[in-house]
Amino acid sequence: MDKLKMLSKNTSDENFKIISNLFPGLITEKVTGYEDDGTPIIEKVIDVDLLNKEISERIVSNNEQRFQFTWPEKIKNIVETNTPIFKTLRPSKEESVNFNKTKNLYLEGDNIEVLKMLQESYLNKIDVIYVDPPYNTGTDILYINDYSDNEDEFGEKYEVDSEGNRLYTNTDTNGRFHTNWLNMIYPRIKLSRNLLSDEGFFLIAIDHNELANLIQVCDEVFGFRNRIAIITVVHKPEGRNQAKFIGPSNEFMLVYAKNESTAKLQKVVLDEEQKKAFGCKDRQGAYRLKNFIRLSDGKYATKESKPNFWYPIYVSPDLKELTLTKKKNYEAVYPVTDTGVERTWKTTSDTFLDRYKEGNIIAKEDNGKIRIFEKLRENQVIRTHWIEKKYHGYHYGTKLLDDLLETKTFDFPKSLYLMRDIVKLFCPKEGIIFDYFSGSSTTAHATMMVNAEDGGNRKFIMSQIPAECDKKSDAYKAGYENICEIGKERIRRAGQKILEDNKDKESIEDLDIGFRVLKTDSSNMKDVYYKPEEISQNFLDTLEDNIKADRSGEDLLFQVMLDLGISLSAKIDLENIDGKEVYIVDDGHLIACFDKDIDDDLVTKLAKKEPVFVVFRDSSMKSDSSLNNFDQIFKRLSPETTRKVI
């Protein structure tokens, strides 16, 4: 039976696989190290010289000039992005809401670790990633990427918070000002792209400080062609008062598609003014009535300037039938105003019939006169300047949150209505939206709100580091020790409020206002078993168990789910079979039992359920014969099942 690796994905291994699938002839073998006894370790590698030849002239190397964006430590940063981590996500049922039923997630911890751990379970699965990172204004706290377990390297330079996160206030007097910020943002964006589905979008908020650098980074990761828009969001129309020259009143939102040829926006009209103009509604949606063509200079077209648009329409006495053929008792109506001024219809006689059949041309009687109108449908026009009042940060971000939590808790949350429009426009009704700088959880609030409005079933994933609240702050005094506590409480209260506000809506009780809380932590597994190269064999022999003493069955289950690429919101049933705790995930997709003394009877019962994966503990079989029988039983009853141990 194979042993699970219990490490986050090594993304450079994935890149290796992609290149070797495209060019199998490039694979060769080389000595990459030596065993303790001197035996060479030989591994498959890519022959870069051959790769260059495959691509022929279209390469650039060494010091040749090229277009590039770089900064000190970029290369180190790329390598570190691909390096796996030895961590896990542990469930916290007490802090969750509807743990068993919800499909929403709240992931507590440094987002670089969260992103690395999600690389299997959410590969190509996320529809929208929206992030609002620290803008690097000169006072931002950056959490230093910590891929190693080595505390000493930076120990002197960085503070460590109570959770052990290394933090650093990045001031602009610091020589590494931009380097630090780029080192922080680049790997996160790179890992984000892997998670997006082919239809998906990546959106990132930023202000003028790092705009130029961020565009370069995103262009590099997503490709310039996938840059869909740079949207200007007016969040503080009065501008910042203390500005020396010009007080910024707007910020930006960069929008990238994973693949612009397959990405799709949802059909919605965001502009409130436009919505008001389309005041009528029928089964096809909102519309307004127009009768005659008006030209761009404001004047009306005439019979002379547009002769194709001038013709009689024959209307039946009950106004229900319109035709271009003369009929008995049908009245001929011309494009003429009440006062007899000649105009033109909005449609030529050639296209009239199609528009009429679509239900878009109607006749009405007005003061004894028949008038003919065309229905103009509401158009989806998404502009690059989002200036409406609903996007302003103070009233619809800060104030709204203060009211909901009944105290001042969080500086500069996004406007709820900004996030609502983003959810509506970018996330399909059954989609997943992921915000890994989630702060006060505005994105979660907006997702539930939009689902309540249109009956959608969008799921959210929030991720936030438990950054400590200042002891002198109102938030701390109100009992919030860190930002995660603010974010989670907001979701709890917002969910209740949305239910209350929509209590008369059909099926509102089905709205998912829950969330599963999972927290990053060191691996459940003792290092010796999973990093044997670092530990001597003798030491290994002295240990009995490979699992840390304080870890529960559910802790193990979630690490297994991460390893096997199973969604963290999958349904989990705990059954007692023959006195053992058996986890049945996703109605039998995965079956896991971490109890000891497993016998043939239990193995037979589980094999009969024919799971896709079955996982046991390495040392869990009752006897050596059970271990031998295990494989035989599965081969006989469920040969397709992938069998693993931890």
51 contributes a contact to ligand SAM by CB under 6 A: no
> Can you tell me the distance from the alpha carbon of 154 to that of 610, in angstroms, rounded to the nearest whole number?
50
From 250, 440, 523, 620, residue interacting with ligand SAM (rule: CB under 6 A): 440
111 contributes a contact to ligand SAM by CB under 6 A: yes
Q: E strand or H helix at 627, and its extent?
A: helix 624-637
> Cβ closer to ligand SAM: 469 or 525?
469
> Cβ closer to ligand SAM: 467 or 535?
467
Q: How far is the CB of 435 from ligand SAM (least distance, A)?
A: 7
For every residue of 304-315, DSSP letters joined together read TT-GGG---EEE
For every residue of 364-408, DSSP letters joined together read EEETTEEEEEEEEEP-----SEE--GGG-HIIIIIIHHHHHHTS-
Distances, alpha carbon 552 to alpha carbons 121, 558, 564, 587, in Å: 21, 10, 19, 21
Distances, alpha carbon 280 to alpha carbons 277, 354, 364, 366, in Å: 9, 21, 15, 18
Q: How far is the CB of 422 from ligand SAM (least distance, A)?
A: 11
> Cβ closer to ligand SAM: 140 or 199?
140
> Can you tell me the distance from the alpha carbon of 574 to that of 141, in angstroms, rounded to the nearest whole number?
42
Q: Which of residues 399-438 bind ligand SAM (CB under 6 A)?
A: 410, 413-414, 437
Cβ–Cβ under 8 Å, residues 84 and 8: yes
Q: How far is the CB of 136 from ligand SAM (least distance, A)?
A: 11
Q: How far is the CB of 401 from ligand SAM (least distance, A)?
A: 8
From 134, 223, 312, 553, residue interacting with ligand SAM (rule: CB under 6 A): 134
129 contributes a contact to ligand SAM by CB under 6 A: no
Eight-class DSSP state of 547: B
Q: How far is the CB of 632 from ligand SAM (least distance, A)?
A: 47
CA angle 362, 368, 369 (to 5 degrees): 50
Q: How far is the CB of 484 from ligand SAM (least distance, A)?
A: 9
> Residue 209: CB partners within 8 Å, gap ≥ 6?
135, 136, 137, 138
> Cβ closer to ligand SAM: 226 or 442?
442
136 contributes a contact to ligand SAM by CB under 6 A: no
Both tokens of residue 323? Answer: 């035709």
- 119: three-class secondary structure by DSSP: coil
Q: How far is the CB of 448 from ligand SAM (least distance, A)?
A: 14
> Residue 413: CB partners within 8 Å, gap ≥ 6?
393, 397, 398, 401, 439, 440, 442
Eight-class DSSP state of 575: E
The closest alpha carbon to 135, from 58, 210, 44, belongs to 210
Distances, alpha carbon 318 to alpha carbons 322, 330, 362, in Å: 10, 9, 12
Q: Which of residues 214-273 bind ligand SAM (CB under 6 A)?
A: none
> Cβ closer to ligand SAM: 108 or 512?
108
467 contributes a contact to ligand SAM by CB under 6 A: yes
110 contributes a contact to ligand SAM by CB under 6 A: yes
Sole window of 33-41, 48-56, 175-183, 439-447 interacting with ligand SAM (rule: CB under 6 A): 439-447
Q: Max alpha carbon distance in the chain (Å)? A: 105
Sole window of 228-236, 464-472, 569-577, 608-616 interacting with ligand SAM (rule: CB under 6 A): 464-472
From 8, 170, 442, 451, residue interacting with ligand SAM (rule: CB under 6 A): 442
From 84, 187, 431, 439, residue interacting with ligand SAM (rule: CB under 6 A): 439
210 contributes a contact to ligand SAM by CB under 6 A: no
From 105, 128, 301, 465, residue interacting with ligand SAM (rule: CB under 6 A): 465
Q: How far is the CB of 176 from ligand SAM (least distance, A)?
A: 17
> Cβ closer to ligand SAM: 82 or 415?
415
289 contributes a contact to ligand SAM by CB under 6 A: no
Q: How far is the CB of 73 from ligand SAM (least distance, A)?
A: 17
482 contributes a contact to ligand SAM by CB under 6 A: no
- 188: three-class secondary structure by DSSP: helix
Distances, alpha carbon 342 to alpha carbons 289, 304, 314, 325, in Å: 19, 10, 17, 21
464 contributes a contact to ligand SAM by CB under 6 A: yes
3-state SS string over 65-86?
CCCCCCCCCHHHHHHHHHCCCC
Sole window of 47-55, 294-302, 462-470, 571-579 interacting with ligand SAM (rule: CB under 6 A): 462-470
Q: How far is the CB of 485 from ligand SAM (least distance, A)?
A: 12
> Can you tell me the distance from the alpha carbon of 333 to that of 267, in angstroms, rounded to the nearest whole number?
36
> Can you tell me the distance from the alpha carbon of 327 to that of 169, in angstroms, rounded to the nearest whole number?
82
| Count of residues engaged in binding ligand SAM, rule: CB under 6 A | 17
Q: How far is the CB of 215 from ligand SAM (least distance, A)?
A: 19
For ligand SAM, which residue has the nearest CB?
439
Distances, alpha carbon 519 to alpha carbons 116, 516, 646, in Å: 14, 10, 21
> Cβ closer to ligand SAM: 73 or 161?
161
Q: How far is the CB of 171 from ligand SAM (least distance, A)?
A: 16
Q: How far is the CB of 557 from ligand SAM (least distance, A)?
A: 24
143 contributes a contact to ligand SAM by CB under 6 A: yes
Both tokens of residue 552? Answer: 């529960």
Q: How far is the CB of 414 from ligand SAM (least distance, A)?
A: 4
> Cβ closer to ligand SAM: 103 or 414?
414
97 contributes a contact to ligand SAM by CB under 6 A: no
Query: Integer distance in angstroms from the first to the last C-alpha of the chain?
Result: 10
List contacts with ligand SAM (CB under 6 A): 110-111, 132, 134, 143, 410, 413-414, 437, 439-440, 442, 463-465, 467, 483
